[in-house]
Amino acid sequence: MGRHRQDRRHQIGMMENFMNTLDLKPLQPFAAQATGIDLREPLTPTQLKAIEDAMDQHAVLVFRNQALTQSQQIAFAKSLGPLDMGLRKLKGGAHRLEFAELADISNVKVDGEVADRQHAKIVGNVANQLWHSDSSFQKPRAKYSMLSAVTVPDFGGETEFADLRLAWDALPKWRQLQVQDLRAIHYALHSRFLLGDTQYTEEQRNAIPPAVWPLVQTDPRTGRKILFVGIHACEIEGMTVAEGRMLILDLMEHATQREFVYQHHWQEGDLVMWDNTATIHRGRWFDFAERRELRRATTEEVPV
């Protein structure tokens, strides 16, 4: 091969490399906007590692203009771990999407029309507006959620994220000492009951037994401490229900102060990925008469 050809090859190689490398622009106070990787394509081990490392650091990554097909979204999620089904195994029923593993985060019915406010599906939309960590009510719980925006409303419908590591770091010492050995009980239907959604059979109520998680955890990947709270936590072991709930509410209020929150304004084609073991999130108000359609793929946490 001639010298010139070789140089050219080298240049193209460098460019490809450059084009397939994760670039991060920090977003306040902890997330990052990620560019440089095309999520529609199978990712190399190097790219996957770059994403995991970025998640360790930022806990939320925002990819713009990555309108994935459903199978591309599934493939991307599967490359990061086994998939989680969340509450869908309890509800069953008709599913609008091509894969049972994709959560239909929308106010759209199976027939493609926007659901009216009385429709059972809307309760799920409202429940998502309470601060939570996906699937914290089960073991294994969710690790990464990857949410892709298909249709966004003209106004509202943002998603907010709070960093539970910042929350731990900012707790006053007395509180850290008070909570460091406590364990919370997380129950799948607690948030539904709070919203008056109580039409569940005994069998459904018992289908997902509560999961117990330490309130304070150490991330095995980063060594950082995490204040693991969220709306699925309904009791603290060894405390009265009242005192336990009050503590959970206090800790959630602390964790979701504005200075620990990143608010994402959706554009169609955005994919936002978050670490459920290090953050909690919630949707914000939008007019349920407007169409809002997102799809979520979620991985399970794999114990290390």
- Residues at the interface with ligand OGA (CB under 6 A): 105, 128, 134, 145, 147, 159, 281, 283, 294, 296
Contact residues toward Mn ion (CB under 5 A) are 134
Q: Which does 294 bind (CB under 5 to 8 A by kind): Mn ion, ligand OGA, none?
A: ligand OGA
Report residue 110 as tokens. Answer: 């199976």
Q: Find, among 39, 245, 260, the residue nearest to 160 by Cα.
A: 260
Please report how close the Cβ of residue 229 comes to Mn ion at its closest, in angstroms. 15
Residue 36 or 156: which CB sits closer to Mn ion?
Answer: 156
3-class SS at 199? coil
What does the H/E/C string look like for 31-71? CEEEECCCCCCCCCHHHHHHHHHHHHHHCEEEECCCCCCHH
Q: Which does 283 bind (CB under 5 to 8 A by kind): Mn ion, ligand OGA, none?
A: ligand OGA
> With contact defined as beta carbons under 8 Å apart, do 218 and 226 qualify?
yes
- Quick one: 187 exposed, middle or buried, by C-beta within 10 A (0-12, 13-18, 19+)? buried
Q: Which does 141 bind (CB under 5 to 8 A by kind): ligand OGA, Mn ion, none?
A: none
Residue 30 or 144: which CB sits closer to ligand OGA?
Answer: 144
Residue 134 or 270: which CB sits closer to Mn ion?
Answer: 134
Please report how close the Cβ of residue 84 comes to ligand OGA at its closest, in angstroms. 11
Please report how close the Cβ of residue 281 comes to ligand OGA at its closest, in angstroms. 6
Q: Which does 135 bind (CB under 5 to 8 A by kind): Mn ion, ligand OGA, none?
A: none
Distances, alpha carbon 286 to alpha carbons 1, 70, 126, 266, in Å = 61, 24, 10, 12
In the DSSP assignment, the letter for residue 83 is: B
CB-closest chain residue to ligand OGA:
283
Q: Which does 66 bind (CB under 5 to 8 A by kind): Mn ion, ligand OGA, none?
A: none
Residue 47 or 187: which CB sits closer to ligand OGA?
Answer: 187
Please report how close the Cβ of residue 238 comes to Mn ion at its closest, in angstroms. 28
Strands laid side by side in the 159-163 sheet: 261-264, 159-163, 279-283
Please report how close the Cβ of residue 207 comes to ligand OGA at its closest, in angstroms. 20
Separation CA 205–CA 198 (nearest Å): 10
